[in-house]
Amino acid sequence: MNQRIGQRPAQVLLVEDSPTDVLMTQEALGQTNLLSNLHVVEDGVEAVAFLRRTDAYGHVPRPDLILLDWNLPRKNGREVLAEVKADADLKAIPIVVLTTSQAERDILTAYSLHANCYVTKPINLKDFIQAIHEIVTFWFTTATLPAG
């Protein structure tokens, strides 16, 4: 586990409007050795409120990692990514775009907006679990994250 996180649970924010994908992510995280708390918001407006700790999110922890769907209601992933990476207080939080889109323009847009990585969601559960395992292993074991 990442040295900076130590023994506290990793805080993961999942921005996802698909209940099925939320369940698959919960299942995948549950099968890792990572001690974590998964926080879920269903759209981009809620994501920004969570990150800025406004409205109902006044006492939430700062995420160590954001898993961001690209196609969201109210405020899409592009808008959330641009807003977070333009915010001096939030821009250091790693953002993994986790989406079904394989479109080259979406990939280029995500990286131009400073996404930390772009992962196309596998459609079957086994591959999805493997992808989540690889993401959390990298971000919480291999990478060094800034202190939250």
For the entire predicted model, the pTM comes to 0.93
Query: Does 2 reside within a domain?
Result: no
Query: Does 33 reside within a domain?
Result: yes
Flag whether pLDDT at 23 surpasses 70: yes
The first and second tokens of residue 97, run together, are 């775009």
Q: What is the CATH number of the domain that holds 84?
A: 3.40.50.2300
Query: Does 37 reside within a domain?
Result: yes
How many structural domains is the chain composed of? 1
Please report which confidence band the pLDDT of residue 145 belongs to, taking 50, 70 and 90 as the band edges. Answer: confident
Please report which confidence band the pLDDT of residue 2 belongs to, taking 50, 70 and 90 as the band edges. Answer: very low
The range of the structural domain enclosing residue 23 comes to 10-138
Query: Does 88 reside within a domain?
Result: yes
Query: Does 72 reside within a domain?
Result: yes
Query: Does 128 reside within a domain?
Result: yes
